[in-house]
Structure 1
Amino acid sequence: MASFEYNGNPSRVIFGSGTLSTLAAELARLKVHTPLFLSTPEQQGSILELAKSLGAAADHVFSEATMHTPIHITEKALGVVNAFGVDSFVSLGGGSTIGLGKALSVRTGKPHICIPTTYAGSEMTPILGETVDGLKTTRRDLAILPTTVIYDIDLTLTLPAMMSATSGVNAIAHSVEALYAANKNPIVSVLALEGIRSLARSLPALVSLPSDIDARKDALYGAWLCGFCLGSVDMALHHKLCHTLGGSFNLPHAETHTIVLPHALAYNAPAIPEAMRKLAEVLPDSDGDAIKGLNLLLERLGVKRALKDFGLKEEDVAKAAEIALSKPYPNPRPLEKASIQELIRRAWAGDNARADL
């Protein structure tokens, strides 16, 4: 075994069914009394109900979280923090809401409790991606890591089938890149493979029967592991492309990850034979071919496969490649402009991924 370095991120996790009921005790444990409750506009009703159940006033709810954590939304929320003496944050939702909670927590030093309702995995990472003037940048700092994560399987039961599918593939992407990260290690790789296995098994079941509690449990468990992997090692080409497409072209986060993942894997395949072999072992019916396994999984899930369906124009392909290559993340295969542009074109068109880039 090669030498390696492993640093575990400190996390407190509460996992199960009905665990939302532990929130009051968790706030008391942290000795905070005036949280700001965060959500997207779509989950405003849920966050208002949660705040009300804890005796909080409606003006302690901020429901304007949005994709890619634009700085102007963070600044608006900070105005509420300063106006009402907020001493902590409670985020209920997916990556957009949790990202806002991270942005506020790291700026103020106040505790942040996450209650995920999707499989995004952001709650397990000390990573913050923010968008300023159409450019999304990321930074990594342990101060960004949420204080407590409350996973309540019951909160995922109403997550629509297609949102479950794309959110779950987004989580899989975190673990796929962890297998060949520049600072990969065998501990994280074991967790990454277990996370991928759990999600690849459970996501097709969820699409068929969204109320399947056992599949929901497996998916949330897998998402936890995948998020942990993302927070433990570096990102590579896949995440750089998705950050570029999301931040600069306003494409939806989970759907973009879902579409780009097999193409980014195909690009890196020649440089990562061992990771490809291990990945194929945990993808159903891959026949030893991880790219085939991913293509088949996306086909079974019935997700959209083309970035053009979400607003990317063909003339944007070259610009996206240029932005992604301007400040690249570490990657196992050197980045070749023509091939990266072709990768994005295939993702734009909705082609099946293939290993000829």
Structure 2
Amino acid sequence: MSGGFVHEALPMRVVLGAGALARIGEEVEHLGLRRVLVLSTPEQRDLADRVAGLLGARAAGVFDGARMHVPVPVVDAAAAVAGEVGADGCVAVGGGSTIGLGKALALRHALPILAVPTTYAGSEMTPIWGLTEDGRKRTGRDRAVLPRSVLYDPELTVSLPPAISGTSGLNALAHAVEALYAPDGSPLITAMAEQGVRDLAAALPLVVADPTDLDARTRALQGAWLCGACLGATTMGLHHKLCHVLGGMLDLPHAETHAIVLPHVARYNLAMAPEADAALRRALGVADVPAALADLGERLGVPGGLAALGVERADLARVADEVLAAPYRNPRVPTRADVETLLEAAWRSR
């Protein structure tokens, strides 16, 4: 199909705006759910309790054991609670860890999800799931894990610390970067990715400078929505492969890992993806995209390299082995030397 493309739209209901959390009961009712289990991390238990209070009789209980990278034992524990309370769905309140747990419950136990993101991860917009078992993170794609509804309330992100706001936003931005050179992109994806990058690059410095800036918080959520939707509609490449292996194998913080790796993989891939490079230059208003991404990371307080996250240089060879073990689509086919060079650069510093 010369010059053509295929775009498959994902079914998604979105509510965005300050104070939108007050509509949580309406959204659960709209989905036809009667008893939902509210999911959170231990740190966000208070917010989960607040959501349960707003839901009243529709809240079957709260499970606050969500953890980074979605360990299988956590999924089993949440499923046991869901069964005990007779839940017919879940409300995932938080960032990628909590939404990832909700997706795992949807995948394994057919419990539909309503997502209430409090970070800019963007995973609420994708049919991509991840599970970690024995130090290995598996990912897959299934429509069943796509949240039925997403409620974006910028007021819920005001308490997000500036450093987490920055790395979380760069994690979302990385989704758009990969979507721009994905083999199954389209003009619609290009337009969404370019606008998502523009929104996040403009909003994140304002959010870090003044965490109470609701206009900037709203624009950052919009950018995360667009970037996440791009990832949900396209194939992941080397950037996400590297980050999934690093996170699953070494239990690294998800957003920080993405933020550190992003400029290095961008430098490697964009040399072979001129249209993606041009779109990013337009979105960022720069001539050198990888340098601009590194500079943005520095301004947002991203750790200087993987070494700052506790990664030992001796770990890099194991990571390279895992990255190269399974094929994936990418603008360039990386050799072992390429992967080792990328990892070494990301380990040392930006």
TM range (shorter): over 0.9
State the identity as a percent: 48
CA contact (8 A) 2:35 2:59 kept: no
Could you tell me which residue of structure 1 aligns to residue 327 of structure 2?
Answer: 328
Q: CA deviation at 1:57?
A: 9.6
Work out the CA distance in 2 between the residues paired with 1:302 and 1:122.
22
Work out the CA distance in 2 between the residues paired with 1:80 and 1:19.
28
SS of 1:60's equivalent in the other structure is strand
SS of 1:136's equivalent in the other structure is strand
Could you tell me which residue of structure 1 aligns to residue 200 of structure 2?
Answer: 199
Could you tell me which residue of structure 1 aligns to residue 191 of structure 2?
Answer: 190
Query: What is the CA deviation profile of residues 273-331 of structure 1, one whole-angstrom value per residue up to 9, with x for unaligned ones?
Result: 221122112114x2x11112112211222321211111211100111111111113211
Work out the CA distance in 1 between the residues paired with 2:76 and 2:209.
41
Q: Which moved more, 1:256-265 or 1:327-336?
A: 327-336
CA change 1:253–1:326 in 2 (3 A) is same
- The amino acid of 2:91's aligned partner reads V
SS of 1:77's equivalent in the other structure is helix
CA contact (8 A) 1:179 1:192 kept: yes
Could you tell me which residue of structure 1 aligns to residue 138 of structure 2?
Answer: 137
Could you tell me which residue of structure 1 aligns to residue 47 of structure 2?
Answer: 46
Q: Which moved more, 1:23-32 or 1:199-208?
A: 23-32
Could you tell me which residue of structure 2 aligns to residue 118 of structure 1?
Answer: 119
Work out the CA distance in 1 between the residues paired with 2:165 and 2:333.
33
Q: CA deviation at 1:255?
A: 0.1
SS of 1:6's equivalent in the other structure is coil
Could you tell me which residue of structure 2 aligns to residue 316 of structure 1?
Answer: 315
- The amino acid of 2:125's aligned partner reads M
1:181 and 2:182 correspond: yes
Could you tell me which residue of structure 1 aligns to residue 110 of structure 2?
Answer: 109
Query: What is the CA deviation profile of residues 83-116 of structure 1, one whole-angstrom value per residue up to 9, with x for unaligned ones?
Result: 1111110010000000001111222222210000
CA contact (8 A) 2:252 2:309 kept: yes
Query: What is the CA deviation profile of residues 187-233 of structure 1, one whole-angstrom value per residue up to 9, with x for unaligned ones?
Result: 10110000000000111111111111111111010000000001000
Could you tell me which residue of structure 2 aligns to residue 292 of structure 1?
Answer: 291
Query: What is the CA deviation profile of residues 36-62 of structure 1, one whole-angstrom value per residue up to 9, with x for unaligned ones?
Result: 010001101110122133225997110
Could you tell me which residue of structure 2 aligns to residue 302 of structure 1?
Answer: 301
CA contact (8 A) 1:277 1:289 kept: no
CA contact (8 A) 1:172 1:199 kept: yes
Could you tell me which residue of structure 2 aligns to residue 355 of structure 1?
Answer: none
Could you tell me which residue of structure 2 aligns to residue 258 of structure 1?
Answer: 259
- The amino acid of 2:323's aligned partner reads A
CA contact (8 A) 1:19 1:150 kept: yes
Work out the CA distance in 1 between the residues paired with 2:139 and 2:183.
17
- The amino acid of 1:9's aligned partner reads L
Work out the CA distance in 2 between the residues paired with 1:133 and 1:87.
30
CA contact (8 A) 1:240 1:328 kept: no
- The amino acid of 2:135's aligned partner reads G
* Aligned-residue CA RMSD (Å): 1.4
CA change 1:90–1:349 in 2 (3 A) is same
Superposed, 1:1-357 pairs within 5 Å as 2-55=3-56, 60-284=61-285, 286=286, 288-350=287-349, 352=350
Unaligned runs of 5+ in 2: none
SS of 1:32's equivalent in the other structure is coil
- The amino acid of 2:55's aligned partner reads L
SS of 1:54's equivalent in the other structure is helix
Q: Aligned pairs, how many?
A: 349
Q: Which moved more, 1:145-154 or 1:323-332?
A: 323-332
Runs of 4 or more above 4 Å deviation: 56-59
SS of 2:56's equivalent in the other structure is coil
CA contact (8 A) 2:122 2:227 kept: yes
Work out the CA distance in 2 between the residues paired with 1:238 and 1:69.
20
Work out the CA distance in 1 between the residues paired with 2:215 and 2:59.
35
Unaligned runs of 5+ in 1: 353-357
CA change 1:50–1:178 in 2 (3 A) is same
TM-score using structure 1 length: 0.95
- The amino acid of 1:347's aligned partner reads A
SS of 1:282's equivalent in the other structure is helix
